[in-house]
Structure 1
Amino acid sequence: MKSSRMQWISLVLVMLGAAPACSQNGGEPQGTGIVASAPVELREGEQKFNANCSLCHGIGGVGTTHGPAFLHKVYEPNHHGDEAFQRAAANGVKAHHWQFGDMPKIDAVKPGDVDHIVKYVRWLQKQAGIF
């Protein structure tokens, strides 16, 4: 089962890499889509993000046609604090900034996982000059 899941994840990653990342960002820059490798201390968050979030939010948080980019000022810590990510994973989110539809809760992602994911996302945002 683990092998088939890894194959599925690999297929999704290839498909995401082949398709242009697209989000409704109000004209704000999203970065180049070229993401440096995360520092060692953030690799767990990167892996959890790629496994659980990237299908909608894109590899490196650049967004897709299914979900918004996290490399947008609206997701900076002063607007969407770290706790907002915890609530989103646990409860889902009603669409309020974008036209992607509601985000479902993500049962596979536990609070400790979200902590790692948020640290990785904040690093991506710093790399992109969001804050």
Structure 2
Amino acid sequence: MAKKFSTYAVLAVIAGGVVIGAWRMFVEEGGHSAKRDVVVPPLSGDAALGKAAFDTNCAECHGDNASGTGEGPPLVHQIYNPGHHADEAFFRAAEYGVRQHHWPYGNMPAQPQVSHREVARIVEYVRALQKANGIVYQPHRM
């Protein structure tokens, strides 16, 4: 009986940790549907071309300047820093889609109409926005 109780106690502590982690992400970070105020830096080269590709293919869900909408998360958010979501994550998302894992918006479908070159430019644009908004590489901790 005592062993069963200790097992339940450990599970309760783990569940509490998950709840606290989720609360911190969604409440302290401004909530899952909160549109971010985004500082837009001067853009040149591939980042400027990336903005055009983003506006055509991504902004409907991810918002103007990747600020988020009620349909998709802001990409100018600490969770997308290069240490947690490397550039390759953007390429894979466009090619294969993404199962819901950080946000409650549902799965992202693949975007086959976006070429590899356009994704590279979109990444340049998003990284420029992130840098201008203080989001830089941080090692991923699990």
TM-score (norm 1): 0.75
| Aligned equivalent of 2:28 | 27
CA RMSD of aligned residues (A): 1.8
SS at match of 2:104: coil
Question: How many Å apart are 1:26 and its aligned residue?
Answer: 4.0
CA contact (8 A) 2:39 2:133 kept: no
| Aligned equivalent of 1:83 | 88
Unpaired runs of 5+ in structure 2? 1-24, 137-142
Question: How many Å apart are 1:130 and its aligned residue?
Answer: 1.1
Q: Give matches, 1:1-131, under 5 Å.
A: 25-28=26-29, 31-33=36-38, 35-36=40-41, 38-41=42-45, 42-131=47-136
Unpaired runs of 5+ in structure 1? 1-23
CA contact (8 A) 2:50 2:118 kept: yes
SS at match of 1:109: coil
Within 1, Cα distance between the matches of 2:73 and 2:65? 12
CA contact (8 A) 1:56 1:68 kept: yes
Question: How many Å apart are 1:81 and its aligned residue?
Answer: 0.3
TM-score (norm 2): 0.70
CA contact (8 A) 2:96 2:109 kept: yes
Change (3 A) 1:56 1:86: same
Within 1, Cα distance between the matches of 2:89 and 2:59? 18
Q: What is the aligned length?
A: 107
Identity within the alignment, %: 42
Within 1, Cα distance between the matches of 2:72 and 2:44? 27
SS at match of 1:112: helix
> Which one has the largest radius of gyration?
2
